[in-house]
Structure 1
Amino acid sequence: MAGEDDQEDRTEEPSLRRLEQAIEKGDIAKSQEVNTWFVLAGGTLALVAVADSSASSLKVMLGGLLAQAGRVSAEPGAVKVYGEYGLWAGLSALAFPLGILMLAGLAGGMVQHKPSLSTQPLAPQLSRISPLSGFKRVFGKEALVQFLKGLLKLGVVGVAIYMAVWPEMARLESFATMDVAMLLQATKAEAVTLMKAVLIIYAAIAGGDYVYQRFTWYNRQRMTKQEVKDEHKETDGNPEIKAKIRQLRAKQARQRMMSKVPTATVVVMNPTHFAVALQYEPGMAAPQCVAKGLDAVALRIRAMAEENDVPVVENPPLARALYKAVELDQDIPVEHYKAVAEVIGYVMRLRRRRY
Structure 2
Amino acid sequence: MSEENDLERELPATQRKIEKAREEGNIPRSKDLSGAVVVLVGLGCLFVFSDFFVEQNKDLMKQALTLSTQDAKDPARMGAAFVDLLLKSLLVLSPLLIAVLVAAVLGTIAVGGAIFVGKNLQPKFSKLNPVKGLKNMFSGNAMFEFAKAMLKVLVIGALATVLIWGHVDDFPRMMTIPLPNAIELAAAFALRDALILTLVFAVAVSVDAPYQVFRYLKQLRMNIEEIRREQKETDGDPHVKARVRQIQREMSRKRMMAAVPMADVIVTNPTHYAVALAYRDGGGAPRVLAKGVDLIALQIRELAAQHGIAQIEVPALARALYKHVDIEREIPPSLYGAVAKLLAYLFTMEKGQIDESVFPSEQDIPPGMDPGPS
TM-score of the two chains, using structure 1 as the length reference: 0.80
Change (3 A) 1:53 1:247: same
Corresponding residue number in structure 1 for 2:255: 256
Tell me how far apart the structure 2 counterparts of residues 23 and 85 of structure 1 sit (CA, whole Å).
45
Corresponding residue number in structure 2 for 1:31: 30
1:44 Cα deviation (Å)? 0.9
Corresponding pairs, count:
353
Tell me how far apart the structure 2 counterparts of residues 318 and 82 of structure 1 sit (CA, whole Å).
103
User: Secondary structure in 1 aligned to 2:194?
Assistant: helix
Tell me how far apart the structure 2 counterparts of residues 308 and 86 of structure 1 sit (CA, whole Å).
101
% of aligned pairs identical? 31
Corresponding residue number in structure 2 for 1:101: 100
TM-score of the two chains, using structure 2 as the length reference: 0.77
Aligned runs of 1:283-322 on 2, under 5 Å? 283-322=282-321
The superposition leaves residues 43-62 of structure 1 with CA deviations (integer Å, 9 ceiling, x where unpaired) of 21232133443333333333
Q: Which moved more, 1:94-103 or 1:273-282?
A: 94-103
Corresponding residue number in structure 2 for 1:337: 336
Corresponding residue number in structure 1 for 2:41: 42
Q: Which moved more, 1:29-38 or 1:226-235?
A: 226-235
User: Secondary structure in 2 aligned to 1:260?
Assistant: helix
Tell me how far apart the structure 1 counterparts of residues 79 and 250 of structure 2 sit (CA, whole Å).
91
Change (3 A) 1:205 1:317: farther
Q: Which has the higher contact order (CA 8 A, sep 6+)?
A: 1
Change (3 A) 1:267 1:167: same
RMSD, aligned CA? 3.8
The superposition leaves residues 180-222 of structure 1 with CA deviations (integer Å, 9 ceiling, x where unpaired) of 2222222222223223322332222332111111222233344
Q: Which moved more, 1:293-302 or 1:251-260?
A: 293-302
1:33 Cα deviation (Å)? 0.9
Corresponding residue number in structure 2 for 1:142: 141
Q: Which has the higher helix share?
A: 1
Contact in 2 for aligned 1:275/1:293 (Cα 8 Å): yes
1:262 Cα deviation (Å)? 2.8
Contact in 2 for aligned 1:33/1:205 (Cα 8 Å): no
Corresponding residue number in structure 2 for 1:217: 216
Q: Which moved more, 1:261-270 or 1:217-226?
A: 217-226
Contact in 1 for aligned 2:278/2:288 (Cα 8 Å): yes
Q: Which moved more, 1:123-132 or 1:269-278?
A: 123-132
Corresponding residue number in structure 2 for 1:53: 52
Q: Which moved more, 1:160-169 or 1:239-248?
A: 160-169
Aligned runs of 1:1-355 on 2, under 5 Å? 2=2, 4-5=3-4, 7-8=6-7, 10=9, 13-63=12-62, 66=65, 84=82, 88=86, 94=93, 96-161=95-160, 164-165=163-164, 167-223=166-222, 239-353=238-352
Contact in 2 for aligned 1:160/1:197 (Cα 8 Å): no
The superposition leaves residues 109-129 of structure 1 with CA deviations (integer Å, 9 ceiling, x where unpaired) of 243354433343343334423
Tell me how far apart the structure 1 counterparts of residues 254 and 290 of structure 2 sit (CA, whole Å).
10
